[in-house]
């Protein structure tokens, strides 16, 4: 039985109510003090844990304190500085290119607009939405590995493409909850719904998940 958009919206609101209690303190797990650090840390977090990025970032932002330091960095040296985050060659190249464009096109400042952010080397929709949501407080959906996995398991989308998932979630998650909802999906994915063995028996939203409760709820409504 296919769930209607209105039913998904209602279910999401119930999930949000529970998340508000269980993950009241959930926030971005990357450490940063300004939008440039958030932008770079998010790029470093591709195929890497936030915990590892935070360890690397602690010394990285002392060595490269601003956009000009990154733009003028020696690429081989920067590679070594970020090696432990993986894919360090592409990341170093993109970070330097990104900072050079920030200086040449944006006066050394990180822009707010989605189109401007997507012009920057190494910046995709996930990074752009995270920077916009967490620093600039602009609503949006961040589709990381947790959001991709959980939104499918929870029956909120049937898509695997991150951009399609993003737009599916935009239709059913209210604007005022979007940034927090994505952070709470990360916490929930780590705590109850990992890729391997989800802990459905202990999950606080199990009754709202297709694995257990949704089909029964839909049947009762019809």
Which string of DSSP letters, residue by residue, matches the chain? -PPPHHHHHHHHHHHHHHHHHHTTT----S--SSHHHHHHHHHHTTTS-HHHHHHHHHHHHHHS-SHHHHHT--HHHHHHHHGGGS-HHHHHHHHHHHHHHHHHHHTTS---SHHHHHHSTT--HHHHHHHHHHTS--------HHHHHHHHHTTS----SHHHHHHHHHHHS-GGGHHHHHHHHHHHHHHT--SS---TTT-TTGGGSTTTTHHHHHHHH-
- Predicted confidence at residue 222, as pLDDT, reads 45
Among 41, 108, 110, 32, residue whose Cα is nearest residue 68: 108
Tens digit of each residue's pLDDT (9 = 90 or more) over 112-131? 999 999 999 999 999 999 99
Per the annotation, the verdict on 126 as an active-site residue is yes
Tens digit of each residue's pLDDT (9 = 90 or more) over 95-109? 999 999 999 999 999
Cβ atoms of 169 and 157 closer than 8 Å: yes
- Predicted confidence at residue 212, as pLDDT, reads 58
Structure tokens at 44: 């470093």
pLDDT band for position 3 (cuts 50, 70, 90): confident
Tell me the pLDDT of the chain averaged across its residues.
93
Among 130, 146, 166, 138, residue whose Cα is nearest residue 42: 130
pLDDT band for position 210 (cuts 50, 70, 90): confident
- Predicted confidence at residue 182, as pLDDT, reads 95
189: pLDDT strictly greater than 60: yes
- Predicted confidence at residue 219, as pLDDT, reads 47
**Residue showing tokens 């995709």:** 124
- Predicted confidence at residue 1, as pLDDT, reads 61
Q: What percent of the chain has pLDDT over 90?
A: 90
Handedness of CA 143, 60, 103, 74 (dihedral sign): negative
Marked catalytic residue, from 81, 126, 148, 168 = 126
Per the annotation, the verdict on 144 as an active-site residue is yes
Among 108, 148, 130, residue whose Cα is nearest residue 38: 130
CATH code for the part of the protein at 5-27+142-221: 1.10.1670.10
Mean pLDDT of 182-205: 93
Residue-range domain boundaries for the chain: 5-27+142-221, 35-134
Marked catalytic residue, from 81, 144, 148, 168 = 144
- Predicted confidence at residue 125, as pLDDT, reads 97
Q: Directed axis angle between helix 35-44 and helix 50-63, to 10°?
A: 130
**Domain 5-27+142-221 matches domain 35-134 at the CATH topology level:** no
pLDDT band for position 92 (cuts 50, 70, 90): very high
- Predicted confidence at residue 217, as pLDDT, reads 45
Tens digit of each residue's pLDDT (9 = 90 or more) over 43-73? 999 999 999 999 999 999 999 999 999 999 9
- Predicted confidence at residue 2, as pLDDT, reads 77
- What global pTM score does this model have? 0.89
CATH code for the part of the protein at 35-134: 1.10.340.30
Cα distance between residue 146 and residue 183, in whole Å: 9
Mean pLDDT of 177-190: 96
- Predicted confidence at residue 82, as pLDDT, reads 98
């Amino acid at each position: 039985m296919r769930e209607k958009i209105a039913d998904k919206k209602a279910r999401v609101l119930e999930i949000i109510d529970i998340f508000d209690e269980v993950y009241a303190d959930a926030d971005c797990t990357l450490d940063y003090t300004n939008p440039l650090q958030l932008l770079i840390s998010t790029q470093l977090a591709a195929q890497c844990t936030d915990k590892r990025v935070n360890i690397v970032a602690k010394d990285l932002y002392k060595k490269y304190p601003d956009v000009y330091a990154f733009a003028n960095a020696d690429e081989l040296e920067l590679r070594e500085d970020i090696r432990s985050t993986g894919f360090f060659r592409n990341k170093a190249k993109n970070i330097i290119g990104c900072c050079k464009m920030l200086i040449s096109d944006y006066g050394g400042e990180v822009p707010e607009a989605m189109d401007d952010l997507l012009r920057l080397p190494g910046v995709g929709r996930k990074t752009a939405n995270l920077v916009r949501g967490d620093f600039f407080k602009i609503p949006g959906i961040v589709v990381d590995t947790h959001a991709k996995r959980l939104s499918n398991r929870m029956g909120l989308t049937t898509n695997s493409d991150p951009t399609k998932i993003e737009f599916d979630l935009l239709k059913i998650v209210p604007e005022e909850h979007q940034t927090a909802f994505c952070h709470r999906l990360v916490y929930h994915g780590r705590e109850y719904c990992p890729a391997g063995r989800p802990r459905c028996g202990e999950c606080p939203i199990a009754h709202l998940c297709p694995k257990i409760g949704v089909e029964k709820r839909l049947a009762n409504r019809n």
